[in-house]
Each structure stands twice: as structure tokens, then as C-alpha cells.
């Protein structure tokens, strides 16, 4: 493949070296004459382990050159890999000026020089609306339409400075967000097998451009969150006279619940007898020792935001009859202590909504102890709202809120009415048969 790499900074320079090592012919392009001259001489414009050897080898094999001309870069390539910076604006937003400028230059060059379908891949971290804007810029400047002579792909990078060459050859995943099938087919040949073992076994994902863009943001937000979580646990451990590294060594050894996919899918608020109580306990200990834990403090606030957001959505429906499927704080139990759905029911009835509730594991008569006390303290007339008949709730409700999964066979016997709103808090595939009435919480 012949690929032009726009932007010869950390990501671009590493891409030049590694892509050429995979056998691709690379043309680097940058507005900096100094960077272009260094690349042409086989020398990296940045410090990165392993990169000098890759660039020198690429130059010696005739697989790498560089230019300051976008026309020259596009004319000598079938695809462009955009690696320019996206710095923050004064308000913290994404500055896409460099991206738009480069894409406009590429589009104009495509209009003049490209004979066939030209692919533009963006490795620059930017939000979904920016990618949509870049597609429009490319269409306007090239005179072509997406999928018809030009294609776009969000192709996020997962490189860490200092070990970028290693990360390129051993990525955790490869993500493509192409606009069309022809562009997707081109992307499939970008990382040929047989060169790097880490690439050969790497999972590859094809998403929409917008979804691919958000994968990178989800990654970086989570990395920042993990750093902050470790630091805040360290702070409270220090004040309590505990070795935080020993604590976190054991924490990290748990790959079933802690370092895993558990609890990471979008859904509704958490609840139950443990998480809220233990968070409050840690925060109380922090207050006693004058230790500020902003992230952990914000966790309970964020959880309350989930409840308020759902309430706004339900109230905005202006439909007074709301059916609830699942009252316990999670499925498979009858524990309603600090269940966020109990709070939703309390607020709905307080706002004048009629509510009917089905929970296959919950019997009001069987509730005992603190579980029963919490339920009736929050919703004194709970017994009047509960029913053991799923069909009754479904047929009665104008809006159906589903917070528990049921067996697929159970859903198979459920018929939703035309116009009935079904709000899915769990991403349950069987609920999508509600058609236009279906609404996922965050999907």
C-alpha cells in the first residue's frame, strides 16, 4: 500500500517507521521543514526507543520519503493517515483547526490527483461531531461524496510515549470506523499478518466513525479515572495508617470483578446494602481526617444524577401510567435496600403517576427485617403497587421501565402495544421488538 502520513510528531513519526516496516510505501508530510528533512535523512524528530532503526531501514529500502507538499503526498499515495495535533482550546474543548486545514488540503489534492477511491484515516483524537465536520470538509474540497471516490475512517491510536513502537507492534486492539464498505475493505489490508506476533493476535473492531472516536475517549477517561482512584485510595490509606500498595496489590489481583469487564457497561444507578453504605463510610473517615477525595465524593453525586435523569425522561413523557419490571437493586435477589428503582417509584407516586410493579423474585409478604423496613419507609403503599402478573403490568402501562433481565422465553410471551414506550435500563435485546416505542437508556 502507498500511504501518506500527515503530521510528523509522535504519532506520525512512529507510524512512518512501523508502517514502512510492514512493507508499505510511506510519504511523510508536515509543514515543518526541519521534521521533513529529518525523516528524509532517516532520523526521528522525536525521542522514541526503536524508531531510529526503523526509519533508517525504511530509507535504505526506499520505502520512506517526506515532503512539505500535500499535493505531492496525495499524488503519490492511495490513502492518507492524519496524525496532526488536537490541542485544547482555552475553554477545554478540542481545537480542530489543524485537522480541518489538513483535511481541506487533502481533499483539494484528491480533486486534482487521485484517480480511484482515496481513503482518509484520522488518528487524531477528536470528538464525533468533529469527525462529521471533517467528512463534510473532505466532500466539499474533493468534489466527491463519501463512499463514492473518497472514504473516511476514524482510526484511533493507542500509543504511549516512550514505548510507542512497542505499542504499535503489540496493540491492545485495532479499531476502524469507516464510512463505507470499500473503505473498510482497504483498512483490512493495513496490518498484514506475519511480521509482528502482537499484531497477528490482536482483536480488530469495525465500528461507525463516531463509535470509534468514543472508544479512544472512553480509554483515556478510564485511564485517568484509574490513576485518580489509586491516588485517592492511597490518600485515605495513608491517613488510616495502612500500606496502600499492599491493599492495591490484592485489589489488582482480582481479575474476576476488579480488573475485568464487570460493572463497566452503561446502565442505571447502583444501589444495594453495600456500595452506597461503604462509600459513605470511606467519605466519613476522610472528613474526620480532613482528607479530600473529590472523585470518590463525586461518585454518589453522579449516581443520583442517573436517577434524576431517568425521572426527567419519564416525567417528560406526560403519560401517567408507568409499569416497572424489577424493583430489587439487581436481578436475582429480593433485596430492595437502597435500590435506585425504589427511589424512582417514590418520586413517580409523589408526582401523581400511577405505578404498577412486577419483580419475579420479590414478594411483599416475604420481606423481613431491614429489607422490609426500607421498602415500606420509602413506599408505604408498596403492597398495593406490586403484582405477580407480568402481563398485567405490560398491558396496563403506557410507559414500561425495565430494570431486570428476564428469561428470553418469558419475553417471547410479551406483546407490546403500538405507541407504548419501553425504557430499557439493561440493554435487553428482546425489548427491541417494541419497535419505535423502544428507548435504550444510553444507547
The pTM is what? 0.91
* pLDDT computed for residue 93 by the predictor: 96
Q: Domain coordinates of the chain in residue numbers?
A: 2-207, 218-291, 302-440
With beta carbons less than 8 A apart as the criterion, state whether 335 and 371 touch.
Answer: yes
Q: Report pLDDT digits (tens) over 37-90.
A: 999 999 999 999 999 999 999 999 999 999 999 999 999 999 999 999 999 999
Q: Which regions in the chain score pLDDT beneath 50?
A: none
Asked if the domains at 2-207 and 302-440 fall in one CATH topology, the answer is yes
Does 302-440 carry CATH code 1.20.120.420?
A: no
Q: Which residues are catalytic?
A: 274
* pLDDT computed for residue 401 by the predictor: 98
Rounded CA gap, 261 and 56, in Å? 41
* pLDDT computed for residue 136 by the predictor: 98
Residue 84 C-alpha from the chain's centroid: 22
* pLDDT computed for residue 293 by the predictor: 98
* pLDDT computed for residue 379 by the predictor: 97
- CATH class entry, domain 2-207: alpha beta
Does 218-291 carry CATH code 1.10.540?
A: no
Amino acid at each position: 500500500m502507498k500511504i501518506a502520513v500527515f503530521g510528523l510528531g509522535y504519532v506520525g513519526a512512529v507510524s512512518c517507521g512501523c508502517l514502512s516496516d510492514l512493507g508499505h510505501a510511506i510519504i511523510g508530510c508536515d509543514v515543518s521543514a526541519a521534521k521533513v528533512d529529518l525523516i528524509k535523512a532517516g532520523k526521528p524528530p522525536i525521542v522514541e526507543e526503536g524508531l531510529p532503526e526503523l526509519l533508517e531501514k525504511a530509507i535504505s529500502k526506499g520505502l520512506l520519503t517526506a515532503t512539505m507538499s500535500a499535493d505531492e503526498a496525495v499524488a503519490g499515495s492511495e490513502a492518507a493517515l492524519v496524525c496532526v495535533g488536537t490541542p485544547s482550546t482555552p475553554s477545554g474543548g478540542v481545537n480542530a483547526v489543524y485537522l480541518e486545514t489538513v483535511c481541506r488540503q487533502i481533499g483539494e489534492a484528491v480533486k486534482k490527483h487521485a484517480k480511484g477511491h482515496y481513503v482518509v484515516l484520522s488518528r487524531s483524537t477528536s470528538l464525533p461531531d468533529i469527525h462529521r465536520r471533517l467528512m463534510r470538509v473532505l466532500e466539499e474540497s474533493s468534489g466527491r461524496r463519501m463512499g463514492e471516490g473518497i472514504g473516511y475512517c476514524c482510526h484511533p491510536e493507542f500509543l504511549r510515549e516512550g514505548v510507542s513502537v512497542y505499542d504499535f507492534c503489540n496493540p491492545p486492539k485495532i479499531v476502524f470506523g469507516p464510512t463505507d464498505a470499500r473503505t473498510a475493505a482497504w483498512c483490512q489490508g493495513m496490518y498484514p499478518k506475519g511480521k509482528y506476533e502482537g499484531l497477528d493476535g490482536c482483536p480488530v473492531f469495525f465500528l461507525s466513525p463516531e463509535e470509534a472516536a468514543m472508544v479512544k475517549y472512553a480509554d483515556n477517561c478510564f485511564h485517568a479515572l484509574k490513576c485518580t482512584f489509586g491516588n485517592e485510595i492511597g490518600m485515605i490509606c495513608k491517613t488510616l495508617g495502612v500500606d496502600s500498595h499492599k491493599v492495591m496489590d490484592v485489589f489488582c489481583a482480582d481479575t474476576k470483578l476488579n480488573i475485568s469487564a464487570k460493572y463497566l457497561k452503561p446502565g442505571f444507578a447502583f444501589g444495594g446494602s453495600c456500595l452506597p453504605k461503604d462509600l459513605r463510610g470511606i467519605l466519613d473517615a476522610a472528613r474526620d481526617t480532613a482528607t479530600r477525595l473529590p472523585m470518590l465524593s463525586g461518585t454518589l453525586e453522579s449516581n443520583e444524577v442517573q436517577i434524576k435523569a431517568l425521572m426527567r425522561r419519564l416525567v417528560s413523557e406526560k403519560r401517567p401510567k408507568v409499569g416497572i419490571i424489577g424493583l430489587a437493586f439487581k436481578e436475582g435477589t429480593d433485596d430492595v435496600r437502597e435500590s435506585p428503582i425504589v427511589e424512582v417509584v417514590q418520586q413517580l407516586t409523589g408526582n401523581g403517576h400511577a405505578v404498577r410493579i412486577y419483580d419475579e423474585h420479590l414478594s411483599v409478604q416475604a420481606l423481613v427485617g431491614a429489607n422490609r423496613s426500607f421498602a415500606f419507609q420509602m413506599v408505604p403503599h408498596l403492597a398495593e403497587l406490586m403484582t405477580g402478573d407480568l402481563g398485567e403490568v405490560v398491558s396496563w402501562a403506557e410507559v414500561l421501565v425495565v430494570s431486570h433481565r428476564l428469561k428470553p422465553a418469558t419475553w417471547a410471551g410479551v406483546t407490546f402495544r403500538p405507541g407504548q414506550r419501553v425504557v430499557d435500563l439493561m440493554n435487553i435485546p428482546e425489548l427491541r421488538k417494541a419497535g419505535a416505542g423502544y428507548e435504550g437508556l444510553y444507547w
